[in-house]
Structure 1
């Protein structure tokens, strides 16, 4: 099969990239190892995505935002950072950003569903995107004039450009010989929704406790009971997380109440529980010969700064714009100069925050006495520095 672009991976970033390029005169083929039902009707996976204002703008542009139930879009009005057992917190309010909210929280599966529907609608009108579901890539090659993808069923797809959007552990990136700086934190995240007695005031919590990290992402009230509801994220060594995830629902709720020092009152499990490994990834290169990476395949962020999918959408916009500009100008969309512009721009936009996130996680998960003192002093100082707080607010809004 011949195409202009082959996108490997039909997760939310891959789908958004295909949607951004649909209608500009390019033939696109997507390859995804999941079956079509899993792509078109994704199930709740525990992950709530913190979207910046910039990301919401892009989701509107690609036709995703209005496909998501307004009740499922929870406004994020402030962020609070806690250290240890101290009741005080560094607070970043929306008033520092110039917006009525810092951003929005939306479930990952709803974003995936909206992206699929937006792409399907565009494809129905333009007939320019083919989705090959339940197919796995076994090989990738790139030549001077074209690249090719070989599927496990023996079929070969040729294109002018191959794009990997197949997770931070991208096998496609590895097949192209691109190494990545991978940091395994030796921990896992347990994520689920819980209802609780005390209100969250639409504030996200990042709580660097001793020997644990907790996060609270404020959701809209539970529909049937109108109870306060949040997404809870608990980060611990893998063995401990698995033991906690296996607790009976009532015992699990009491356990989480205790970890939150009962600051939210009585809590109740309101969803399935999901566990994810904690690994940060940053490739040595974002591009190769007729090849580019986007999404987590390009920048696999630690979730503490909540920028994973936001960087994914930013990469979609940057790469998409470079491809569309080349197409309109009659240039080769897979040319080195086109891809190099994408890499330079996306690296400049992502590298500083990736490194800053690594620094934050190293300092705030170090439980030595000097580190505990240093992080407490850092939070106190940050609370008094208005330019610093405004910079954080700007980062949260995108």
Structure 2
């Protein structure tokens, strides 16, 4: 099996890697985190100018027709740089949902704004009582006279504080935990009755709590078919897990490489600690764990690309491995770096926090282990 990238894929990888190396240092990243929106709008516009925001969209929708391999490339490099710009909520989640379920008019109106970076979209689907069950939806949308009225609350809306438009998951029929009866609506962030409370997450990024109090939207705000959004949510959730898995693999690679370099410089008893056999064994373990996760990532990507029925199972295997092995790699790095590895002044501690955050998004390790066994 040929795992080599094509010429175009290598160009994409090299362009992002070069940007991260030259223009996105850890110090720069920390400055972006401290900005009002939690990211740098100029950098986001640069992403758009370089064509990175159009990667997963078809040529008919204004993209380059990239698939899971291209997303893997982008997210691995973003992981190495701890990129905080809203690529996942706006492109991977919202953009994919609009491209898959939107009408021709909705796609024509909305996708160009995502691709050129002029608007930020965020998927509002998590509810406090639901844990990781996508079908557990208490937020309601009642239809009257050609309009929908939304009431409810959403948690952990990624980059919700900077979003121009929310894709709100609401129940239009059925009981709270029914898979049928779920719909998605396009809701402007400044609509009457929408209250957004933004906050910083563990890894320095941003999320928000969103309350909807009698928010009225037109029937044209419905995305896709009424009552039948669950399958769409499951698809984009799996694809988001794949993207986050790639990000985690990039983080793990960066962690073991930086740890190896550090041990060559750090001295004890007048010699570099890299010569200590116990540490050598631990760093070999870090490399091995990263390669195991990368193998599972490739398996999931290839099954996605070929449309194999094992895709969901492979995604859950990857997500579980990242939860267990990713944290192991990050903890080893922090221990070898010592106390300073826990501080925000060093990227090692922030890589650990980001790995922990990835573990909680779209189902943690325990959830995906149970899902894997069920599948």
TM-score with structure 2 setting the length: 0.28
Instruction: Name the structure with the higher helix share.
Output: 2
Structure with the higher fraction of residues in strand conformation: 1
